[in-house]
Amino acid sequence: MPTMQATLAGHSIIAGREVPGNGGTVNGFNPATNAVLEPAYTLIDREQLAAATTAAEEAFESFSSLDPETHAAFLEKIAENIEAVGADLVARAMIETGLPEARLNGERARTTGQLRLFAAVVRQGDHRGVRIDPALPDRQPMPRPDIRQRKVPLGPVAVFGASNFPLAFSTAGGDTASALAAGCPVVFKAHNAHPGTSEIVGRAIADAVRDLGLHPGVFSLIYGPGSSIGQALVTDPLIKAVGFTGSRSGGTALVAAAAARPEPIPVYAEMSSINPVFFFEGALAGDVDVLAQAYVGSVTGSSGQLCTSPGLVFVPAGEAGDAFAAAVNRALAPAAGQTMLTKGIAEAWSAGVAELGAQDGVEVVARGEQGPTENAPAPAVFGTDVPTFLENGVLHQEIFGAASLMVRYTSATDLVDAARRLEGQLTATLHLTEADHATVAPLLPVLERKAGRILANGWPTGVEVGHAMVHGGPFPATSDTRTTSVGTLAIERFLRPVAYQNIPDGLLPVPLREANPWHLNRRIDGTIILAGE
């Protein structure tokens, strides 16, 4: 397996140039062996960071006004470049993260797929939000002026790489893709757990910028300590929005820093979720072993290091619930732990599991086996009842990794009470049959206020990238419940509306001109008029 050591430079890429950092170095680690990986990555200082944000600001005017075809071709070129380095990219990601090849191949395909999806959005153009209220000079008692509205990009965007998705939520991942699609230059801060993977993808983006003849400040990749450079990036006056996927503490720190600026800016942070799953009697009347295997697979997949991993499952008390718990034990007992992303993440998981298991009224339902490496702890499922769950806040905390809590309930009222006490979630899942509809109905309005995605007879792990997907939710799932970080609606985070009143046609932005040269769908006097009409 190649390590890419000979071709990785170990430096930030600022406006197309490799820039050795002045702030020390950091290395990646192989989590399977804890071995240090080369090269060491130099960390930038604040002066070098300012060069990246200044270049992004200088690129904004030309990039934000690109014609749809050039803009879409740029996103497609990034996807092509990522595919061209596919084998080397996956190889490096494997040794930096411990994730298996099949998972990373799928994540690479998701990354390139969402770039192409946003290219289609850019060509189609509805995100520009064109609205026209034509002038009514004869209206009484007062004439109406000509008013035209469109959405414009916010400005340079800071994006932070996620630890658990080195491709799909990283350098060219969803936040970067949607910001670039909106017309916002991106300054991307690499996650220090997979620096080589970030560099390979960063080069693919920088090469696409060059090949399309765009301003080099459209994209920069920087390495630096989050405690200083991350805060400095968010508080830089040239940055106008932030995309973040990571811990609750990290996300809330960035939100606080952005809010304290002289000019506050939005932070779209995806942070913490335990993704409750609700089992109803009808669902458990079937093959409980099949259900238990699917549950265990969802809990343990990617060592549980998924933001949609089901950390909480509600199961009825009584024989049906007992049978399911026994099936979970059978499914989990032979399961070996998988290598986690970093030693620190594995240690945090172990501490969280120890704290959960030490709570009064909590017992072990099932436990797997230690995996083949030091950072591959045995997965675990614990059990309790609704009264204990309601009284103990520790049982509501996310444990990032392969662990879950099974809560036994005795009535539909139990479920509604428990759901009302939940914090905001990315997902809520219902396993039911038609016979359960009357029991489920009172729960749905509660879950609508708690989660961004509600699904039936499936599992929350695995997020489809499309037009209707919502990957967001009330705090602490995200910092802004009105948005999504997955799917085409994500582009809306980096746009704002501007109205133009009585502006001469020759001075209007191209999307608003009367001739409609970009062939956009428009809302005219409240009615949607398709481009061809």
Active site residues: 270, 307
Neighbours of 359 (CB within 10 A): 15
CA distance 408 to 399: 19
Q: What is the SS3 string spanning 404-443?
A: EEEEEECCHHHHHHHHHHCCCEEEEEEECCHHHHHHHCCC
CA distance 379 to 398: 15
Question: Is residue 514 classed exposed, middle or buried when 0-12, 13-18 and 19+ CB atoms within 10 A define those classes?
Answer: exposed
Strands of 359-414 (E only): list them: 363-367, 380-385, 403-409
Positive or negative, the CA dihedral 209, 213, 217, 223 is positive
Please state, in angstroms and as integers, the Cα–Cα distance from residue 248 to each residue in 21, 194, 244, 390, following that order: 28, 20, 10, 22
Of 523, 529, 519, which is closest to residue 69 (Cα–Cα)?
519
Query: What's the Rg (C-alpha) of the chain?
Result: 25
DSSP for 313-357? EEEESSHHHHHHHHHHHHHHTTPBP---S-HHHHHHHHHHHHHHH
DSSP for 136-173? BTT-SSSPBPPEEEEEEE-S-EEEE--SS-TTTTSTTS
Structure tokens at 150: 């469109």
